[in-house]
Structure 1
Amino acid sequence: MQRFFASTMNIFVFTIIKQLGTGIMIATAFIHLLTHAELMFGNQCLGTLQYEATATSIFMAGLFITFLIEYFGNRIALSRGKKHPQGDDMEPSATSSHTGPVSGTKTGLDSAIANLGHSHGHQGFPDDKISVFLMEAGIVFHSVILGVTLVVSGDSGYTALFIVIIFHQMFEGLALGSRIADLANTNISTKLVMSSIFALITPLGMAIGLGVLHSFNGNDKSTIVAIGTLDAFSAGILAWAAIVDMWTHDWLHGDLKDASIGRMMTGLLALISGMVLMGVLGKWA
């Protein structure tokens, strides 16, 4: 009985973390990045744009390029898998759920925990890794901008922006970390490298900000266009990762599509909470 409740609790906790992260990524893409990109391209220093949909066009380009990378990356990974089948490696996980109550096999709850987030079978391994790489790329792009912005913001707005960025990066780290931890067939060193990149990228942006502190001009046209372009493109990357690889994957094709009412409601509340948390932070950053 104790093991049953412990296993159930593990499933619910992991569901909360993953869905909170999904909500955070969705809000980051639309409320933080896309909105900020539109503000950049609407800056009076640029004058009136001949094409008003510049920000959303770049967003769409980021969305489409991310789709192409993931699609062709997945095709390449699957074709390599067909040329070099790994039947011995995949067979235990494919057959374990069909075996009877043999000694050493996992219980239903243990299997659910082991397979949490990987319910679309052996075909999910290639695109899971690619999607997380792409999601981290989108986060890295705008994390550099956050670091630069923090340094060049000036004394008047530094404290407030610093506090907001701490919470912003904490929530994004939770979202990214839950997906990195959930990667199948990925060794610990790769996961550590991915985590370290996220941890170091904002300080790197701050170092860049220190380097350009005396020459940085936030009202320069090229600076505004560069920041707006990176924000919109990053928004496209994160929107694809959040909606297709996280939201749709978990709810329509993953383990939540037929989850219990309790777990479904828990996931929905966590999803909404993630959106609300980052949505509120969108007032300041």
Structure 2
Amino acid sequence: MLLRRRAPGLFLVSTAFGQTLTTATKPTSSAQVVTAISECHMHDTTQFCMAGTTEFQVHVTATGTSALPASYTGCHVHGTDNFCISPFGDEVSITQQRSDGDSTHGSSNSSPSAATSGRNCHFHAGVEHCTGGNENEEHSCERINRDYNIPLRIGFLFVMLVTSAFGVLGPIFLTSFTKVPTDHIALVLLKQFGTGVLISTAFVHLFTHAYLMFENDCVGEMSYEATVSAIFIAGAFLSFLVEYAGHRITAILKPTQVRADDNELESHSQVHDHPVPSDAISAAVLEAGIVFHSLLIGLTCVVADDSFFRTLFAVIVFHQMFEGIALGTVISGIPNTKLSFTKKMILGGIFTIITPIGMGIGIGVLSRFNGNDRSTLIAIGTLDALSAGILAWVAFVEMWARDWIHGGRLERASLATILAALLALALGIGIMSLLGKWA
């Protein structure tokens, strides 16, 4: 960690992700006057120093260019606040810490820092979720004023647009403008990786986030404890109904010719065995689940505080690229006789723009968005759980089971192909599950 002077009393400390982190509290008064502080150390990204047995938080913000000072001298009082002088001659404010680890003073517009309250906090859909610390700590449902770098968010919106397009349109262009067949081993492995991504997205990201929303203190106690699970099942059931209705309509409109016992062809309005589900219908259902999810992801990214924004954005970029690859492989595998190239591009284009649209909405409501509002929490939690059910249905039934068991290529594949596909599937699950730690 490296120090860089900007202005009196201001240091910027960059983390490995390049973001600027600030302490969340600002002193308004002091409980003890000291002349010097030393034995300085870090709690996460916040610096603390000692004056005898009393610990003080040093209000500096952080970059990665030099180490913070190990001591400060010339401590004095301005009004009711304590200040000390760094070895560089800059004045920094300090705040005495209570024995319970909380600062004696705090700003009403910011949440306590993890270092001062002993809590580990992160963002989901603009809501700051904290673990650890004092369980009896008051949880405010009021809107919190945060620092937002609007130009940076607008610039990253276009980065998200390009990344999403690369993920979803790559497989479509690969199969449409090259001689690579849709059943090529590379595309088979890519699809298995995408299947793993969707499975993890459904459970590690969406289902978990839905529970976090409904368990928020601002929602209150739910009279039906299995609300999230019920919404999840509703999403899966809705997916089933849409696909089943589509298959029945397709069977009626396009009668299947089957051979009778007397070797004569008879026209039937329905197939005798279970018909192979329409790839186009499956892709449309998958797209619907991803659209809800991606819209929320764009909002999640933008409304997070600047101290978390860069980290969250980096994770979401990878998330959307992998999810785009999953959707792109499904769309590209549909024969052109069932879905034209133009329609494939439309499906891919919807995914490409939906997350940037969510980011644009988030930018537009930054000044009034309250992630702790009860209605907001319930709405986001409901959409997360519904999307989880949709993605789970498509991933398990239309992709995983269909490719491996119900007549798919992997049902009778060679051992080498099976092992490679299993590895791709596990990688998709593992990588997306790991990203769930940050997003």
TM-score clears 0.5: yes
Structure 1: any 5+ residue segments left out of the alignment?
A: 1-5, 86-120
1:75 aligns with 2:251: no
**Shift in Å, 1:123:** 4.5
1:56 aligns with 2:229: yes
Preserved CA contact (<8 Å) 1:20 1:272: yes
Aligned to 1:146: 297
* Deviations 1:196-220 (CA, angstroms, capped at 9, x unpaired): 1111000000111122111110000
What residue identity is the alignment partner of 2:241?
A: L
Give the whole-Å Cα distance in 1 for the aligned partners of 2:280 and 2:274.
Answer: 13
Give the whole-Å Cα distance in 2 for the aligned partners of 1:203 and 1:241.
Answer: 24
Give the whole-Å Cα distance in 2 for the aligned partners of 1:208 and 1:74.
Answer: 36
1:226 aligns with 2:226: no
1:270 aligns with 2:409: no
What residue identity is the alignment partner of 2:391?
A: L
**Shift in Å, 1:122:** 11
1:207 aligns with 2:360: yes
* Deviations 1:63-115 (CA, angstroms, capped at 9, x unpaired): 101101100111101111119x8xxxxxxxxxxxxxxxxxxxxxxxxxxxxxx
Give the whole-Å Cα distance in 1 for the aligned partners of 2:419 and 2:230.
Answer: 36
1:22 aligns with 2:175: no
Q: How does 1:83-232 map to 2 (within 5 A)?
A: 123-124=275-276, 127-184=278-335, 185-232=338-385
**Shift in Å, 1:52:** 1.1
Structure 2: any 5+ residue segments left out of the alignment?
A: 1-178, 258-272
The counterpart of 1:241, out of the listed 374, 378, 394, is: 394
Aligned to 1:99: none
**Shift in Å, 1:18:** 0.8
Identical positions, percent: 52
Query: For residues 182 and 155 of structure 1, do their structure 2 counterparts lie closer, same or farther at Cα, with a shift above 3 Å needed?
Result: same
Give the whole-Å Cα distance in 2 for the aligned partners of 1:271 and 1:142.
Answer: 21
Give RMSD over aligned pairs: 2.0
Preserved CA contact (<8 Å) 1:12 1:266: no
* Deviations 1:190-243 (CA, angstroms, capped at 9, x unpaired): 000011111100000011112211111000000000000000000000000000
Give the whole-Å Cα distance in 1 for the aligned partners of 2:365 and 2:419.
Answer: 48
Structure number with higher relative contact order (C-alpha < 8 Å, ≥ 6 residues apart): 1
**Shift in Å, 1:12:** 2.3
Moved over 6 A (4+): none
Query: For residues 173 and 221 of structure 1, do their structure 2 counterparts lie closer, same or farther at Cα, with a shift above 3 Å needed?
Result: same
The counterpart of 1:35, out of the listed 185, 189, 208, is: 208
Give the whole-Å Cα distance in 2 for the aligned partners of 1:123 and 1:48.
Answer: 45
* Deviations 1:244-284 (CA, angstroms, capped at 9, x unpaired): 00000000011111111111111111111100010100111
| Local SS of the residue matching 2:417 | helix
Instruction: Count how many residue pairs are aligned between Structure 1 and Structure 2.
Output: 242
What residue identity is the alignment partner of 2:246?
A: G
Give the whole-Å Cα distance in 1 for the aligned partners of 2:233 and 2:293.
Answer: 17
Give the whole-Å Cα distance in 2 for the aligned partners of 1:261 and 1:129.
Answer: 30
Higher mean displacement: 132-141 or 206-215 = 206-215
What residue identity is the alignment partner of 1:247?
A: W
What residue identity is the alignment partner of 1:276?
A: G
Preserved CA contact (<8 Å) 1:144 1:201: yes
As a proportion of its length, which structure holds more strand? 2
As a proportion of its length, which structure holds more helix? 1
**Which has the greater radius of gyration?**
2
Aligned to 1:45: 218
Question: Could you state the TM-score of these two structures normalised by the residue count of structure 2?
Answer: 0.53
Give the whole-Å Cα distance in 1 for the aligned partners of 2:325 and 2:302.
Answer: 24
| Local SS of the residue matching 2:413 | coil
Aligned to 1:256: 410
Give the whole-Å Cα distance in 2 for the aligned partners of 1:80 and 1:154.
Answer: 53
**Shift in Å, 1:14:** 1.6
**Shift in Å, 1:7:** 8.5
Give the whole-Å Cα distance in 2 for the aligned partners of 1:12 and 1:130.
Answer: 24
* Deviations 1:25-44 (CA, angstroms, capped at 9, x unpaired): 10100110001101111111
